[in-house]
Structure 1
Amino acid sequence: MEQLALDTAFATRGIPHVAFWNGRVLTAEDLRAEQVANLLGRNRIGRAVGAGMVRGFAVSPGSSPTHVMVSAGLAVDPSGQMIELPVDVDLSLVVPAETAGGDGVFTVCDPVTSNTPTGTGLYLLAARPASQSQSLAVGVEALGSGVATECGPKYTVDGVSFRLIGIDATALATQAGHDPADVDDLGALGGATQSPLARNVLAHLFLDTVPWSQRFADPFGDPTGQVELGTLAALRAGALRPCEVPIALITWSFDGVGFIDTWAVRRPPSTEPAYTAIQSLGTARRQLLGRASFAQFQDHLDTIRSELGPAARQAFELADAFRYLPAAGLIPIARTGRSGFADTVFGDAIVRGPVPIAPTRVGAILDESFRHTAIDLASGEVIFVYTVAAGSGAVDHLVFCTSRMEFLGDELVIDAVFPGGTLFIGQQIEIRGRGFGFTTGDARVRFDDRAANPLPGSSDTRLLVTVPLTLTVDPTGTAMTLEVSSNIGTDSVPVVVGHPEQSPVGQLHVEWVSVEPTTLEIGLPATLTYRIRSAVTPAVDVVLTQSATDFAQLVDEAGTAITGPIRMNTGDEKTVRLQIEKVPQVATLTISLAAAVGGITGSNTRQFTIGMPTPPRDPAITILSPDFDPQPGPAATFDGTTIRMAHQATANLEFVLEVTQPGSYEVRVEPSSLSPPWPSVLSAPSTGVFPSIQVSEIGGDGVATREIRVTVGRDSSGAPPPATVTLIVNRPGRADDARVSFQLAGL
């Protein structure tokens, strides 16, 4: 033991860094020493993270019986070194690797060779850091003539190598306290007489199931000092080197690789203080083993499911391949479209249940199970079993757990009511929980004093009901009690029931009013003014969108930026402005402003020729947002500003024209074309160019209305170029008009 005084630096066995000062002569040894110091510093960070597998390094059968596939991955070894495999590799287990085996300049791994697999037996595959020289560099002799006379490595590259370690499973099982039956099951690993329980017993040898159970039974037995429990800890004291991370157990036979089990030895990075044997009973390491036990079981069960045929799966029982089970697990049940096992899979094991539970409870069962040791089928322990239903109501899978956890059956519990929030009379809802008694006809549902019978599709964990239409509730909602009862109990929850929300109906209209200045010049500001009119009931929050988001800002009448929906009552009119900071460098500027609420939309698209005066809007003319009427045949859609059409599709745009002055009004479509790819014509009030509409009388509300129909189509196949169609209405002899444009695009 060293002696130390207060306020005195203790540097014994610290990391020596090279001291640099002007005039000092540096050698390769000095630079190498500094690299080693930096590596040791990084290793301190690695040890703080903890040894274990970060990701990847999954092991599966390779390209031949003597190969395994190892996926790209990252791990931390016990000394704190990072081990990274950047790509998947096909690893030969019999041909020695040609690269360095861990004895590079900057690693702390001792050179060691693999146990070449022969005969039959068990092997541990481990990953370890390695390095290798790469490229060449010239050098000169120290104090020589300065002429290059030497040659040496230019780079030392960090890498990874793998080692195969022979394992005596029976000796380890005896040392860990496993009974003779387990030792016998491990006696012929890889051989023709290998026990069907061998993989399961082997996994729980490395998952430390028996030692942890013994420690809980006798926590104050010897040794009581600092102890790292388990089979991997025993191997670290011998065959497994301090720089190696175990990644898989592999059995070997005369035919090559047998089974591969990764989860039995795979651990996530973890580090904890040095606990005594008693203190270690409360560490997180046990939960890591619980998670590994669950993952190993599910992987092993999935392998069995894939290897057995349908008849064998139906006859399979867990005891055929498992002595030890995780504290909780999931078993798929065979159903249409998915292979699985029969609900008799527990065989002669003592079970309680099965009882149905909601799918949302499974996660909590698994989380709690990770704190428990594994189930030993040979001990006669009672196993709790639950069923989880699929959407059709049939059993999808079984969930089992140790009887050391609370049993969830034999009670009625409401877990959730879906959807959440206020319920509405006449609405179909879902009540989730357990013990509802639907399959026995005992389920009863009441909203205060009104009954609601469960609907078809319900189950013992899921009730579908309709909120009674006879309930008396306030429009804003009334608090009441939702009660479910069956032959095993009653549970209730408070809910709020109101009237159904009224969906908005009506129309939104977007009208262009003016542009200032009337001539748009590149690089200069401009303001476009629009009027939004709402004929929608009830009051709604209207969302405005505009196509010039990268160079224009939408503001209200006060000049405040509009960043969210605007509230509009029926009959409201709102004036908004589109402020363009700088007119972009284009010949023609197309801008769309759209308003939307629910499925109701209104829009106005206009084209402005840069550098030419913009005709003013005729205040006596308003073109209301159209109804879109796709014709039978190929698909056509309309989102308020763009019409998208499939090949040979046709659609009508039904406009309403409002005028406030009597007289003659001319209507035209630009471009008016009957040729591909976008034929667009006036089909009402008459076909052709410049049809005239006569208005002789104005109604009592000061407005006369007329209907206009524009028919658009798509004749071309492939990807037609986008186009624009514009409807224009004006009074003869006047420069002002009303117009609205729409984009045409392929679908």
Structure 2
Amino acid sequence: MKTDLLTPVLSGGVKNTHYFNGRLLTAEALKADQIANRQQHDHLGQAVGTGIVNGLWVKESGEKDKPFTVNIVPGLALNKKGQALSVAEPGIELQLDRTTPVEASSNGLFASCEKQTRETTEKDNELYIYVLVMSSASGYEGQAPKHNIVGPNAQAGCGRRYAVEMVAFDLVPWDASKVAGLSAKSKKQLADLTKKNDNDPQRLSRLRNLLAHICFGTEAKTAFAINPFQKQDQQSAFSQYGGVDALGLTACEIPLALVYLSKSGIRFVDNWAVRRRVTQPTISNNWPLQSGDRLRAEAEAVFFQFQEQISEFIRKSPGSVLSMRAINFFRYLPPAGLLQLNVGVMPGIRTATFFKEIPIPKKPYFLEGVQLNYLLQTAQQFSSIDLDQDEGSNQDKGETQREAIMLYQVRENETASAPDYLIFTSGHLPFLGNGRFNINRWNFFHFS
């Protein structure tokens, strides 16, 4: 479309009703105002970003007679269209055993967000991997009297009083093996972990961890360092990656949680595998990993996901955690994490057992408490630790050498009565165990 300088471009603009004396006020004119107001709010929402603002946690009901029920915590999110999706009332119990598609009613408030019909797929092993999503929806509430234009006292029935903006939930089937950038090794592990139908905590933990990192795009992002110039459809190959992008969700949908089901009930619910804080989109299609804040949001989710998973395991199986070995229960570890230690009656891991067959220092290095947040924030710039990654072979012993992991203990924690914990980091992070003159307590630190 040819346009001159300083000439208003009206095509595609927001149409606000123009009021003037003598104009007939109609429902259509007022509705046009509502539509314009909604479009302006959507534009504002798009500028803020997409993701979860607060709340919207998905939790298993925990009741034996409700094996397919989850509870949704009230909260707020923004979808890619900029629409605010809100769950205001507590106590929403959601049934996840849908076997037939359900059509949602609508009053057209979100005409651009048509409800998708998705079939539930059957599998031979009777196990199902889904992502629970929330989308914008609308409906009517209440009644209001309606009158004819001619004859003000002539009532002509009733109409609906309110057009209500609300939300709807859906389960999206997910075949993780078809995610782009997944290695043959990961596909084989995924097939092995999903072919069984048992309650083995080791299998479920490793599967949960692997699925989460497929969602994060952990493997796909490692290809950037190999060739940052990869192109796909005239833009960077890293514009889309990972399991969340592979779902093909509409711009109206927000992912809330990864759900692993069997025909007998829920096996696990993982929020952080797909949950992201509000994230600004990239402004460069050629360098998407270097603009916007998606990488930072994913790095935060990697840390939160691990901490939630291992804390849940310690809470549910305090005895079993003593024999937990990282290489058996996790494919990946975050670049930095915190571990509760088993001391006295306090449940937690045993360092030697958890890190068995992983190169670690003989004992943890001490770290000043003021450095802890710096370490955790710095770690978000690094890749996750792949416990299956071969760093070389020990020819003399015939052993596979894994990536070294550094261990720290906060000095203030050592001298306090608080529960003991351990910090682990990728060996690629800068070392923070050296003492500094006139700053550190020298008898707690490492000197070379």
Q: Give the TM-score normalised by structure 2.
A: 0.85
The answer for the alignment partner of 2:334 in structure 1 is: 326
Determine which structure has greater relative contact order: mean sequence separation of CA pairs < 8 Å that are 6+ residues apart, divided by chain length: 2
Whether 2:374 is the aligned partner of 1:364: answer yes
Q: Percent identity?
A: 25
Distance 1:280 1:266 in 2: 19
**Structure 2 Cα separation of the partners of residues 152 and 221 of structure 1:** 57
Query: What's the CA shift for 1:185?
Result: 2.2
Aligned to 1:49: 48
Cα deviation per residue 1:169-221 (whole Å; 9 max; x = unaligned)? Answer: 1112xx23233344432565495158342111100011111111111221012
Equivalent in the alignment of 1:110: 114
Correspondence for 2:392 = none
Paired position in structure 1 for 2:239: 228
Does the 8 Å CA contact 1:126/1:245 hold for their aligned counterparts? yes
Q: Structure 1 residues 355-364 or 206-215, which shifts more?
A: 355-364
Shift of 1:293: 0.2
Q: Of residues 373, 394, 410 in structure 1, which corresponds to 2:383? A: 373
1:543-595 per-residue CA deviation (whole Å, 9 max, x = no partner) reads: xxxxxxxxxxxxxxxxxxxxxxxxxxxxxxxxxxxxxxxxxxxxxxxxxxxxx
Match of 1:77 in 2: 79
Q: How far is 1:334 from its partner? A: 1.0
Q: d(CA) in 1 for partners of 2:437 and 2:406?
A: 21
Question: Structure 1, residues 325-344: CA drift from partner, whole Å, max 9, x if none?
Answer: 11111111112352111011
For the 8 Å contact 1:356–1:386, the answer to whether it is kept is yes
**Amino acid corresponding to residue 109 of structure 1 in structure 2:** C
In 2, Cα distance between the equivalents of 1:125 and 1:279?
A: 26
SS in 2 for 1:75: strand
Q: Does 1:317 align with 2:325?
A: yes
How far the C-alpha of 1:403 sits from its partner, in A, is 1.9
Q: Which of 432, 436, 440 lines up with 1:408 in the alignment?
A: 432
Q: Which amino acid is the alignment partner of residue 74 of structure 2?
A: A
Looking at structure 2, the residues matched to 90 and 117 of structure 1 have their Cα atoms a distance apart, in angstroms, of 23
Q: Which amino acid aligns with 1:258?
A: R
Determine which structure has the larger strand proportion and give its number. 1
Quote the Cα distance in structure 2 between the aligned partners of 1:366 and 1:65: 37
1:35 corresponds to 2:34: yes
Amino acid of the structure 2 residue aligned with 1:112 = Q
Alignment correspondent of 2:137 = 130
- 1:94 shift after superposition: 2.8
Equivalent position amino acid for 1:157 in 2 = V
- How far is the alpha carbon of 1:251 from its aligned partner? 0.5
Match of 2:343 in 1: 335
- Work out the CA distance in 2 between the residues paired with 1:183 and 1:17: 56
The answer to whether the 8 Å contact 2:55/2:73 transfers is: yes
Q: Please say if residues 249 and 260 of structure 1, whose CA atoms lie closer than 8 Å, have aligned partners that are also in contact.
A: yes
Quote the residue 1:718 is aligned against: none
Whether the aligned pair in 2 keeps the contact of 1:290 and 1:327 (CA below 8 Å) is no
Alignment of 1:589-628 (within 5 A): none
Please list the CA deviations of residues 341-388 of structure 1 after superposition, one character each: whole Å capped at 9, or x if unmatched: 101111101224532222322211100011112111111222111123
Give the Å deviation of 1:286. Answer: 1.2
Work out whether residues 102 and 129 of structure 1, in 8 Å CA contact, stay in contact via their aligned partners in 2: no
Asked if residue 276 in structure 1 is aligned to residue 285 in structure 2, the reply is: yes
Find the aligned partners of 1:186 and 1:43 in 2 and give their Cα distance. Answer: 42
Once the 2 structures are TM-superposed, how far is the Cα of residue 66 of structure 1 from its aligned partner? 0.9
Counterpart code for 1:329 = G
Structure-2 separation of matches of 1:91 and 1:272: 31
Task: Select between 223-232 and 58-67 the one with higher mean Cα deviation.
Answer: 223-232
Q: Cα deviations across residues 222-274 of structure 1 (Å, max 9, x unaligned)? A: 336255232356336x3x12101100000110211111001011111121443
Residue 309 of structure 1: how far off its partner (Å): 3.8
Counterparts in 2 of 1:260-299, with a 5 A limit?
A: 260-278=269-287, 280-281=289-290, 283-299=292-308
Which of the pair has more CA radius of gyration?
1
Deviates more, 1:249-258 or 1:27-36: 27-36
Q: TM-score, normalised by structure 1?
A: 0.52
**Paired position in structure 2 for 1:724:** none
Whole-Å separation in 1 of the counterparts to 2:105 and 2:368? 52
What is the root-mean-square deviation in Å for CA atoms of aligned residues? 2.8
Q: Which moved more, 1:101-110 or 1:8-17?
A: 101-110
User: Distance in 2 between the 1:102 and 1:287 partners?
Assistant: 38
- Aligned pair 1:348/2:351, yes or no? no
Identify the residue that residue 70 of structure 2 maps to in structure 1. Answer: 68
User: Any stretches of 5+ residues in structure 2 without a counterpart?
Assistant: 390-401
Aligned-partner Cα distance in 2 for 1:186–1:56: 34
Report the Cα distance in structure 2 between the residues aligned to 1:234 and 1:78, rounded to whole angstroms: 13
SS at match of 1:249: strand
1:120-159 pair list within 5 angstroms: 120-142=127-149, 147-159=154-166
Distance in structure 1 (CA, Å) of the matches to 2:105 and 2:14: 22
Q: How far has the Cα of 1:313 moved from its partner?
A: 1.9
Matched, 1:21 2:39: no
The residue type paired with residue 235 of structure 1 is: A
Aligned partner of residue 265 in structure 1, secondary structure = coil
- The offset of 1:31, in angstroms, is 2.0
Distance 1:218 1:90 in 2: 47
Instruction: Measure, in 1, the Cα distance between the counterparts of 2:78 and 2:149.
Output: 39
Q: Distance in 2 between matches of 1:180 and 1:261?
A: 23
Q: Distance in 2 between matches of 1:25 and 1:147?
A: 20
Counting helix residues as a fraction of each chain, which structure ranks higher? 2
State the Cα distance separating 1:134 from its structure 2 match: 0.7
- 1:180 is matched with 185
State the secondary structure of the residue aligned to 1:378: coil
Q: Deviations over 1:100-155 (max 9, x none)?
A: 84733212320234555863210110111222211111223455786122321011
> SS of 2:235's equivalent?
coil
User: Are 2:172 and 1:165 equivalent residues in the alignment?
Assistant: yes
Give the number of aligned pairs: 418
Deviation of the 1:276 alpha carbon: 3.0
Q: Choose which of 212, 215, 225 in structure 2 pairs with 1:203.
A: 212
In the aligned structure 1, how far is the partner of 2:404 from the partner of 2:70?
Answer: 39
CA contact (8 A) 2:176 2:243 kept: no
Q: How does 1:523-562 map to 2 (within 5 A)?
A: none
Contact 2:346 2:419 in 1 (8 A): no
Q: Could you say if the C-alpha distance between residues 279 and 92 of structure 1 is closer, same or farther in structure 2, counting changes exceeding 3 Å?
A: closer
Matching of residues 545-584 of structure 1 within 5 Å: none
Q: Distance in 2 between matches of 1:20 and 1:30?
A: 9
